[in-house]
């Protein structure tokens, strides 16, 4: 029922990579998603649940990630690097 965002626009280079190119955030072409509030009130976060103890919740996040890959040109997760341990970058 709700998506928790870490924001969109930030004029900066990419973080956690060796390159110095501008981030998609530098041109407001990216959003960072940290969590979701489910209809039953549960809060699922990338930080706590990407590798969390509940397999159904882990699967939920992987389905969201895979779905985002069908819709966005760039999708980064905790598997990309430590800078993305707590959010999906879309």
Per-residue string for binding with Zn ion, 26-55, x by CB under 5 A? ----x-x-----------------------
Which stretches does DSSP call E strand in the chain? 2-7, 32-37, 43-45, 88-89
Minimum CB distance to Zn ion smaller for 65 or for 89: 89
Among 33, 44, 46, 89, binds Zn ion (CB under 5 A): 89
Q: How far is the CB of 29 from Zn ion (least distance, A)?
A: 10
- Cα 49 from Cα 33, distance rounded (Å): 13
Distant-in-sequence, close-in-space partners of 50: CB < 8 Å, separation ≥ 6: 58, 61, 77, 78, 85
Number of residues that bind Zn ion (CB under 5 A): 3
């Amino acid at each position: 029922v709700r998506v928790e965002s870490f924001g969109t626009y930030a004029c900066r280079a990419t973080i956690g990579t060796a390159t110095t190119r501008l981030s998609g955030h530098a041109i407001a072409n990216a959003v960072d998603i940290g969590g979701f509030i489910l209809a039953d009130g549960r809060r699922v976060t990338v930080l706590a649940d990407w590798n969390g103890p509940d397999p159904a919740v882990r699967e939920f996040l992987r389905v969201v990630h895979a779905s985002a890959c069908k819709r966005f040109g760039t999708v980064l997760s905790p598997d990309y690097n430590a800078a993305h341990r707590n959010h999906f970058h879309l």
